[in-house]
Amino acid sequence: MQSNKIHKHFENKVVWITGASSGIGRALVIALSSINCKIFITSRSEEKLQETINQCQDNNKNNIILLAGDLTSKQVNQEILQQIKQIAGKLDIAILNAGSCEYVDIEHFDSALFERQMNTNFMSMVYGIEAALPLLRSSADAQLIGMSSTAAYMGLPRAEAYGATKAAIRNMFAALRVSLLPQNISSSVICPGFVETELTAKNDFDMPAMITASKSAEYILKGIAKHQQEIHFPKRFSLALKFIASLPNPIISWFVSKTILKSNKARI
């Protein structure tokens, strides 16, 4: 059940959500479908986007507009935002959530994997920001939201590529928070822990403090409504990682090698 604060914040807003075909993105769309706002949803798969709409509340399905496309293309991002402008005339909130996760096999180090991860997770977001900013500037209460991860807090084995993209996003949004203030655009970065999604279902290691996608959507929407600069959750997990990341590097390396790396090796 949505809080009154969330309802009031999103009421009559125009929202763009990327990566809306599954996982956290889909959960955000479903949660917002109970509110009178216009939602534009994007991912590569038009079929999966339609599945997202089918799971939303019937009385608000007409407020959800499907705009499929490959967001690793700069041109596609520009075309999608042009469609949003033509249909809605404005954009209030951009939630750039699209991304994927590929793990590195250190025995077969593959630069192509890093390139794919950077294009899918980071450059697609950069293209989205570039396309969205002109419309956001015309909103009286504009918000730019980017999906990072608690994996951005410190280097983790096998997540050399994924973690690097999420750290880049977190760093970029730290700068955008300051740069966009004079333009009355607030920005937030999201750093979730483990969430039950199609991506995490493929993981072969322990995932402590895992939460559902619907619970993560609740955390995110509350954070957006409060204009939180960094929305991280669940707190018992994210705060623990923040603390570990604040320790001297030798201690971090020792901790990772004794816990995470040992756990990974046990599954090989």
- pLDDT the model gives residue 170: 99
Q: By C-alpha distance, which of 124, 20, 19, 146 is closest to 71?
A: 124
| Helical packing angle, 124-136 and 74-88, nearest 10° | 30
Distance CA 139, CA 121 (A): 26
Q: SS3 of 8, please?
A: helix
Residues 37 and 63 sit within 8 Å (Cβ to Cβ): yes
Q: SS3 of 139, please?
A: coil
- pLDDT the model gives residue 204: 66
Q: How many helices (H) and strands (E) does the chain have?
A: 11, 9
Domains and CATH numbers, the chain: 4-240 (3.40.50.720)
- pLDDT the model gives residue 61: 84
Q: By C-alpha distance, which of 106, 201, 101 is closest to 151?
A: 101
- pLDDT the model gives residue 258: 82
- pLDDT the model gives residue 214: 94
Q: What is the CA radius of gyration of the chain?
A: 18
Distance CA 108, CA 13 (A): 47
200 to each of 14, 103, 104, 146, 203, how far by Cα in Å? Answer: 30, 12, 15, 19, 5
Residues 209 and 237 sit within 8 Å (Cβ to Cβ): yes
Eight-state DSSP code of residue 226: T
Nearest-5° angle of CA 221, CA 222, CA 224? Answer: 65
| Helical packing angle, 124-136 and 160-179, nearest 10° | 20
Distance CA 73, CA 204 (A): 31
Q: How far is CA 127 from the centre of its chain?
A: 15
Distance CA 77, CA 98 (A): 12
Residues 173 and 188 sit within 8 Å (Cβ to Cβ): yes
In this structure, the number of other CB atoms found within 10 A of the CB of residue 234 comes to 20
- pLDDT the model gives residue 248: 95
| Helical packing angle, 249-258 and 235-245, nearest 10° | 130
Q: SS3 of 232, please?
A: strand
Per-block mean pLDDT, blocks of 10 residues, the chain (268 long)? 85 98 97 96 98 87 95 99 98 98 95 98 99 97 98 93 98 98 97 84 69 96 98 95 94 86 46
